[in-house]
Structure 1
Amino acid sequence: MIKGLYREPTRSEIIELAAEEGHDADIPTNAGSIQNTPGNRSPTPKQAADGEKQSNLEFEKDIEKGLRPESLSSEEHGEEQSEESDPNIVWWDGPNDPQNPMNWPFIKKWGTVILVSAITFLTPLASSMFAPGVPEVMKTFHSTDDMLEGFMVSVYVLGFAFGPLIIAPLSEMYGRLPLYHSCNVCFMIFTIAAAVSSDMGMFIAFRFFMGCFGGAPLVLGGGTIADLIPREQRGTAMVVWMMGPTIGPCVGPIIGGYLTEARGWRWNFWFVAILAGAFTIMSMILMKETSGPVILERKTKRLREETGNLKLKSQLDSGLSPKHLFIFSIVRPTKMLTRSTICFIMSVYVAITYAYLYILFTTFTAVYTNQYGWHGGSVGLSFLGLGVGSLLGQFVFTHWGNKTVTKHIQQGDFKPEHRLYIMAQGGFFLPVGLFWYGWSVHAQTHFMVPIVGTGFVGYGLLTAFMPANTYLVDVFTVHAASAMAANTVLRSLCAALIPLSSQKMYAALGYGWGNSLLGFVSLLLVPVPFLLIKYGERIRARSTVKL
C-alpha cells in the first residue's frame, strides 16, 4: 500500500518528463518533482509562492543558464535502489503495479496513444479546413469586409493562445481525463454552433471557442504519451502524435475544398462535429486516467478512508493549491516573455514565421481563384505544397537535428545552441519560398511553380518551430513549459491578428511585392539563429532573470 523500493529519478528524467507533460519541473511528474531530487530537497512551490526563502535552489534564482553537464547523463545520482523510511508516503505497489499506466497491456496503451493522436489531428485540421469555403461564408452573411474574411480563419488560433493557459492547471488538479472529455464535448458543441450560425459575429465567436477547447489535446497529448510509454520507446509515439499539428492544417483545406463544393461550407463543420462526436464517445469508453500524481492522490484518499491514517501522503503530491497552479500557469509565461532575453527573441522569431502560415491560409483561396481561375474543390489543392514541405521539414529535423545533437552529447561539448543549427539553415528557405511564390503567382506561371514555392515556405516554417521548442526546453530546463507557453501565446496572437491586413497588403502591393515584403522581413530574421549560436551562451551566462 505504501512506498517501498524504488529508483530515485534523475534530474534530467524529471525535466524531460515535465516538458512533455506541459508543466514546469517544480510541479511533480510521474517521476516526482525536481525539488525532491538529491541535492535539491527544498520547500514546496507553495512555500516559495508564500514568500519563504529558497536560496538553496539555484534554478529558482536564475532560469536562463541552460542544461548543466550532469543533466545530460541518465546515470546521474546513480541507478541504485533506495528505500524511503517514511511509512506515510504512498507509492505504487511494486514495479508491476497494474494501476501504474506504464504497466498497462500493450493494446490498451497504444490504443490510447492512437486515439489521442487522432483527436490531436482533428483539432488542427479544423483550424483551416473551411478556408476554401470562405467566399461562400461571406456571401451567406452578406459581408464584403476583407478583414473579417481573414479573421474568420485566424480567430481559431487566437483560441489556442488562451485555452491552454486554463486547461494546463486544471489538468494538474483534476487529471487529464476530465479535461479530455469536457473539452471534446465543448469543442463538438461549438463546432455544431458554428455550423448553424446565422450571422458573422456569432460565427466568429463560435470559431474562437472552438480554438479554446480544441487546444486541449495539444496541451495534454504529450503528457499522456509520457504517462504510458517508456522513455526508450517514446520517440515513435511522439512522432505519430506530432503528425496532427504538422499536416492537419494543410490537409484540412484539401478535404474542405471538395466538401464545400459538394455540400456547402456548413458541412465542413458538420464533418468535424461528427468526427469529434465519434472520438468523444470512443474516449469516454476506452480512455482511463493516466496522470500518475492524480492516480496516486486518489489512492491516498482511499487509503486514508480505509486506515483512518490522515498522515498518508502521495509521493507525487505537489503541495500546490489551485490558486498557485493558476498563478504559475499564467504569471510565469508572462514574466518569461518580458524578462528573458532568450525567450523574447525566440518567441518573436517564431511568432512572425507562424503568422506567415496564416497569411497564406487566409489568402490562398483568393489568390488561386483570381490568378488561376480555380473554383470549388480544386482550391483546396493549393495547400498541398505547404503540407509536403512541412512533412519534409519534420523528417529532416527528426533525423538530422537529433543526429547532430547526439554527436555533441557523445563528445561531451553539448550546449543548447547546438539545437539551432537546423534553424539556421532552414531560415533561408522561408524568404526564398516567399519570393518564389509571390512572383510566380504575379506572373501567372504554371500553378505548380507557386505550389513548389510554398513547399519551401512549409519546410522553413517547420525548421523554425521544432528547433525553437527543443531549444527552449534545453535552455530553461525546470521552467521549460512556461517558456513554451510564452512562445505559444505570442505566436497565436500574431497568427490571429497579423493576417487581418493581408488582403489590403496584396491589394496595395500586388502578389509579387506583397510577398516580397514578407520575404524581406524574413530575411532580417535569418541572422537570429546565427547570433544565438554565437552569443546565446554569453547571454545566458549574464542573465539574472528571476521568477
Structure 2
Amino acid sequence: MWSYIQYRRMGRDLQQAYERDSKIETYRQARESNSRNVEAAKPDSPLETLGSKERDDTPTNNHSTDKIIVRTDGDDDPIDPKNWPLMARCKNIAILSFLIFSQGWAGAAESMANKTASAEFGVSQVAENLSTAMYLFGVGSGALFAGPLSETVGRNPTYLVSTFCYLFFVLGSALTPTFGGQVVCRLFVGLFSSATLSINGSSVRDQFRPVKRAFAFPIIAWANVAAPVIAPIAGGWIVSNPNLSWRWTEWVTLIISGLAFLVSLFFLPETYLPLLLDWKAKHLRRLTGDNRYVSEHAESASFIRKLRQVGPLPMKFLTQEPVIAILGGYLILLYVLLFSFLSGFDYIFKETYQLSTALTGSCFASIAAGATFFTLLAPGFYSWARWKTEYVRGAPIDPEFRLWPAIIAAPLLAISLFWLGWSDQQNVSIWSSLGACFVFGMVIIAIYVASYEYIIDSYGDHAAIGLASITIVRYLVAGGMVMAARPMYEGIGTHWTMTLLGGVAVVLLPAPLFFWRYGRKLRARSPYAKSP
C-alpha cells in the first residue's frame, strides 16, 4: 500500500517538474524566435534535466531504437533511499525490525510447549523438536531464493507476499489436529519467513551509508537475535496457565505477525534503488510519450536467469572464500547454541534448580538482556566510525574496523560457555548461570553485527550472496542440532555439552584477529571482494 503511494507520489513530482520545465522551454523558444539571433535547438524532452541518462551513440531518427538509461542525478538525488530524511529511514528500520521480530518469534514460540504438545500428539519430546527443526530447515531452504527474488520484484513485494503466505501456515500450526500437519505447517512457516530473515541486511544497505550502518545495523541484529529468546518467556507463562492451551503460543504468534504485516503493508516503502529508477523510467515514458526511457533494472536478467547465476555461488563462496567459511562457522556455532538452548534450558535450569516451566522460560530474559545491552552501545560505535572517517559525509570504512566487536567478544564466548557448563550445579547460585547467559547474549549480537557488516563492506554487490550462503548453512545446521540437543544433554550432561561447544569456540577464537591482520590481502586475491 505504502509503496503504491510512493509510486504515485514519484509520478506527481515528475509531472510537476515536467510542467515547470515545459513552461521554461516554451518561454526560451519564444525569446529565441523573437530575437532570431540563434536558431532554436529543441531537445528531445523537457525532462532532460530530471535524470542522468545515457544514449546509444548510433544516430537515428527512430526513437524506438535509441535507449535513454535513467540513472540518479549524482550523490544527492532524492530518489536514492540513502538521501531520504533521517526520520523516514529510522521509521523504516523500526517497521522492518518489527516484521523481523515477529517472524523470528515464530521459530521459538512453541518451544516451551514441547512436553504438552508431544503428549497431545502421542509422540516423544525428541520427535516434537521437529516442530522447531522444520522451521529452521524452511528458513535455510528459502534463503537461496529470497535474494534473487528481491532484486527482481523489489524488497517490499518480497516481504509482503511472503509474510502474507506465512500467516496462513501459522494459522495452520495453531489449528492442525495431527503431528504430521504441524510438521508440514512449520516447514512452510520457516520457508515463507526466509525472505524477511535473510534479506533484511540488504534493506539496511539500501538506506544507509557505511558510517550510519554502524548505528542502524545493531538494531536490525537485535530483532533477529532477541526474538527467539523473548518468545520462550511468553511461551513458558502461556503453557503454565491452566486456562490456556499450548496452542495459544501459535495464536500469540499470529496476532503479533498479523499486526506487523499490517504496519508493513501500510507504511513500509520500497528501498531497492534499481527498482525505483525503473518506476521513474515508466513515469517518464508516460509523461513524454517517449518509449526510449528505460532503466538498467528493466534491461537486466529475469528471476529465473538470476537464480541460475546465483544458485551455485553460495556453495562456491563457502568453499573458496575464507571470510565466508570462517565467519560463517562462528554464526553457525552461535545459532546452534541459541536454538539448542530451547531444549537445553530444561536441563540447565529446570532440572538443576527445579524451576517451573514459566520460570524456565523466563531465564531466556538473561540472553535478551545481554543482547539489548550491546545494542544500546550502537551510538558509541557510530561516533567511533564518524571519528574514524574524520566526519567526512559518505566516507567509506575499512572493513577491518567492523571486526572490533567480534575481537572483544570472541574470548567471552568461550568463557561464557565454560562458565555456564560448570556453574550449573545446585550448590551454585542460579544467578551465576544467568550471568553466563547475559554474557552470551552480548557475544552473539556482537559477533553477528561484526560478521555481517564486515561481509557487506568487503563484498559490496556480492555481499548478498555471501550472507545468503551463511544463512542457508547456519539454519540447516541449527535445525539438525535442535534434533540432537535433547539426546546430547541427556547423554553427556550439561557440563560436557557446554565444554564441547566451548572447545569449538576456542578453536574459532583467533578468527577475528586473523581477518583484522590479513583481511586486506585476502580481499585482494578474491574475485568477488571489493578491491582494498
State the TM bucket, normalised to the shorter chain: 0.7 to 0.9
Q: Which amino acid is the alignment partner of residue 121 of structure 1? A: F
Q: Give me the TM-score of the superposition, normalised by structure 1.
A: 0.75
Q: Which residue of 1 aligns with 2:239?
A: 260
Q: Which residue of 1 aligns with 2:514?
A: 531
CA-CA distance at 1:203 after TM superposition: 1.4
Q: Which amino acid is the alignment partner of residue 352 of structure 1? A: L
CA-CA distance at 1:400 after TM superposition: 5.9
2:113/2:239 contact within 8 Å kept = yes
Q: Which residue of 2 aligns with 1:28?
A: none
5+ residue gaps, structure 2, are 1-13, 18-49, 56-66
2:211/2:385 contact within 8 Å kept = no
Matched, 1:431 2:414: yes
| Equivalent of residue 122 in structure 1, options 84, 96, 102 | 102
State the distance in 1 between where 2:328 and 2:335 align.
Answer: 10
Instruction: Give secondary structure in 1 for the equivalent of 2:123.
Output: coil
Q: Which residue of 2 aligns with 1:370?
A: 351
Q: What number of residue pairs does the alignment pair up?
A: 469
Deviations 1:70-102 (A, max 9, x none): xxxxxxxxxxx9964648234579999997767
Q: Which residue of 2 aligns with 1:455?
A: 438
Q: Which amino acid is the alignment partner of residue 413 of structure 2? A: L
Matched, 1:382 2:402: no
Instruction: Give secondary structure in 2 for the equivalent of 1:198.
Output: coil
| Equivalent of residue 191 in structure 1, options 152, 170, 174 | 170
Measured at CA, do residues 152 and 114 of structure 1 come closer, stay the same or move farther in structure 2, by a change above 3 Å? Answer: same
Matched, 1:469 2:449: no
| Equivalent of residue 343 in structure 1, options 300, 314, 324 | 324
1:163/1:216 contact within 8 Å kept = yes
Measured at CA, do residues 238 and 430 of structure 1 come closer, stay the same or move farther in structure 2, by a change above 3 Å? Answer: closer
State the distance in 1 between where 2:335 and 2:189 align.
Answer: 20
- Provide the alpha-carbon RMSD of the alignment: 3.7
1:348/1:490 contact within 8 Å kept = no
Q: How does 1:474-489 map to 2 (within 5 A)?
A: 474-489=457-472
Q: Which residue of 2 aligns with 1:490?
A: 473
Q: How does 1:38-117 map to 2 (within 5 A)?
A: 84=53, 86=55, 88-90=68-70, 111-117=91-97
Deviations 1:108-159 (A, max 9, x none): 765544332211211112221222211111111112252x244322432222
| Equivalent of residue 354 in structure 1, options 335, 348, 354 | 335
State the distance in 2 between where 1:376 and 1:245 align.
Answer: 24
Instruction: Give secondary structure in 2 for the equivalent of 1:531.
Output: helix
State the distance in 2 between where 1:361 and 1:155 align.
Answer: 14
Measured at CA, do residues 227 and 511 of structure 1 come closer, stay the same or move farther in structure 2, by a change above 3 Å? Answer: closer
Instruction: Give secondary structure in 2 for the equivalent of 1:215.
Output: helix
CA-CA distance at 1:346 after TM superposition: 1.9
CA-CA distance at 1:185 after TM superposition: 1.3
Q: Which amino acid is the alignment partner of residue 107 of structure 2? A: S
Q: Which residue of 1 aligns with 2:258?
A: 277
Highest Rg: 1 or 2?
2
Q: Which amino acid is the alignment partner of residue 185 of structure 2? A: F
Q: Which residue of 2 aligns with 1:69?
A: none
State the distance in 2 between where 1:538 and 1:95 align.
Answer: 30
Give the number of the structure with larger relative contact order, counting CA–CA contacts within 8 Å between residues 6 or more apart: 1
Shifted more, 442-451 versus 251-260: the winner is 442-451
Matched residues, percent identical? 25
State the distance in 2 between where 1:280 and 1:201 align.
Answer: 27
Matched, 1:332 2:313: yes
Measured at CA, do residues 212 and 449 of structure 1 come closer, stay the same or move farther in structure 2, by a change above 3 Å? Answer: same
| Equivalent of residue 131 in structure 1, options 100, 103, 111 | 111
Q: Which residue of 2 aligns with 1:296?
A: 277
Q: Which residue of 2 aligns with 1:213?
A: 192
Measured at CA, do residues 189 and 506 of structure 1 come closer, stay the same or move farther in structure 2, by a change above 3 Å? Answer: same
Q: Which amino acid is the alignment partner of residue 167 of structure 1? A: A
CA-CA distance at 1:377 after TM superposition: 1.9
Instruction: Give secondary structure in 2 for the equivalent of 1:163.
Output: helix
1:98/1:104 contact within 8 Å kept = yes
